[in-house]
């Protein structure tokens, strides 16, 4: 029987066939695991991101790979599920992305009069965002800033990059003064790269965390500030609502939720009130 190809899917000239049923299964699985709603028309993306997994696991088709993933159990299955998720996330980020948030945070930090602050930066991707938070804290309050940042992401591969704290020297968003103050320049084999100074890195704890997890209590004491930027755009409205309810539960009353430029949660006005440009206050 000839498999029906999903529109835009890999054709005869490509190594594997991604059928409409395979694509539908991938969409279902990534939605169940990560809450990510993959739109119709993303077949080429799925093909290019997952075909390496087929090669590495020795599976001959998407149908075989997805069936095997479903049936596998134990440590090998856990590892492959993580690879599957890592392949399908989109990790675009930059230092001081949406810079107005960092100005607002710096002002809040100065107004707090030295009271300790706990920030959760979830969907932290490759680390530029949590390091930008740490730089903001040190610039506002000095090297002994009483600020702790928990940086998390579902994608373990980007978290490894974040933990390492090594970036290309021409990374976007870093002014020369910040480069000098917060980074070490690589020499020799590391030329062209910069590394976050240890005194900045020590403010941050990196930890994998899936926003679809049930175990939010493992996050510990309530946070004063949550950065959750440019991830909810991948979730549908019911998933967004569930995550917002959970965020409400782990934020101090009056705590602030910073979201991405295209994210609008004014529907959740029973939980949060708009306090500034894409900044919400927990009720």
- Write out the binding residues for ligand SAM, residues 173-232 only, by CB under 6 A: 210-212, 229-231
> How far is CA 110 from its chain centroid?
27
CB of 63 to ligand SAM, least distance (A): 25
- When asked if residue 129 is in the footprint of ligand SAM (CB under 6 A), the reply is yes
| Tokens 């594997």 belong to residue | 16
Closer to ligand SAM at the Cβ: 191 or 214? 214
Which long-range CB contacts under 8 A does 271-274 form with residues at least 24 apart? 271/244, 271/245, 272/244, 272/248
- When asked if residue 153 is in the footprint of ligand SAM (CB under 6 A), the reply is yes
- Provide the mask over 38-77, with x wherever binding to ligand SAM is found by CB under 6 A and - wherever it is not: ----------------------------------------
Question: Is 181 marked active-site?
Answer: no
Stretch that binds ligand SAM, among 44-52, 64-72, 108-116, 153-161 (CB under 6 A): 153-161
198 phi-psi bin (left φ>0, alpha ψ -120 to 50, beta other): alpha
Closer to ligand SAM at the Cβ: 9 or 104? 104
Question: Is 70 marked active-site?
Answer: no
Q: How far apart are CA 249 and CA 220, in angstroms?
A: 11
CB of 131 to ligand SAM, least distance (A): 11
> Residue 158 in 3-state DSSP?
helix
> Residue 238 in 3-state DSSP?
helix
> Residue 64 in 3-state DSSP?
helix
Find the catalytic residue in 22, 97, 148, 153: 153
User: What are the C-alpha distances in Å from 115 to residues 57, 145, 147, 222, 278?
Assistant: 51, 10, 9, 15, 24
DSSP 232-250: GGGS-HHHHHHHHHHHHHH
Find the catalytic residue in 33, 49, 164, 275: 49
- When asked if residue 34 is in the footprint of ligand SAM (CB under 6 A), the reply is yes
Closer to ligand SAM at the Cβ: 43 or 230? 230
Active site residues: 49, 153
The footprint of ligand SAM (CB under 6 A) covers 34-36, 89-93, 97, 122-123, 125, 129, 153-155, 158, 210-212, 229-231, 234, 260
């Amino acid at each position: 029987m000839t498999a029906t190809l999903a529109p835009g899917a890999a054709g005869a000239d490509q190594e594997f066939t991604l059928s409409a049923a395979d694509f539908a299964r991938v969409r279902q699985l990534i939605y169940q695991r990560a809450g990510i709603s993959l739109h119709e028309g993303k077949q080429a993306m799925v093909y290019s991101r997952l075909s390496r997994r087929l090669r590495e696991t020795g599976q001959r088709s998407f149908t075989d790979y997805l069936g095997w993933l479903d049936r596998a159990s134990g440590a090998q299955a856990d590892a492959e599920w993580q690879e599957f998720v890592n392949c399908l996330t989109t990790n675009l980020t930059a230092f001081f992305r949406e810079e107005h948030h960092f100005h607002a945070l710096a002002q809040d930090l100065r107004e707090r009069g030295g009271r300790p602050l706990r920030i959760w930066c979830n969907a932290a991707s490759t680390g530029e965002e949590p390091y930008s938070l740490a730089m903001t804290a040190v610039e506002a309050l000095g090297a002994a800033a009483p600020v702790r940042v928990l940086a998390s992401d579902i994608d373990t591969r980007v978290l490894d990059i974040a933990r390492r704290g090594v970036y290309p020297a021409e990374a976007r968003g870093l002014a020369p003064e910040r480069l000098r103050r917060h980074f070490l320049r690589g020499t020799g084999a590391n030329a062209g790269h910069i590394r976050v100074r240890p005194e900045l890195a020590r403010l941050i704890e990196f930890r994998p965390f899936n926003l679809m997890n049930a175990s939010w209590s493992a996050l510990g004491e309530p946070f004063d500030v949550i950065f959750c930027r440019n991830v909810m755009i991948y979730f549908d409205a019911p998933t967004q609502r569930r995550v917002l309810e959970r965020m409400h539960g782990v934020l101090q009353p009056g705590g602030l939720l910073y979201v991405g430029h295209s994210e609008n949660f004014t529907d959740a006005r029973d939980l949060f009130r708009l306090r500034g440009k894409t900044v919400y206050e927990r009720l």
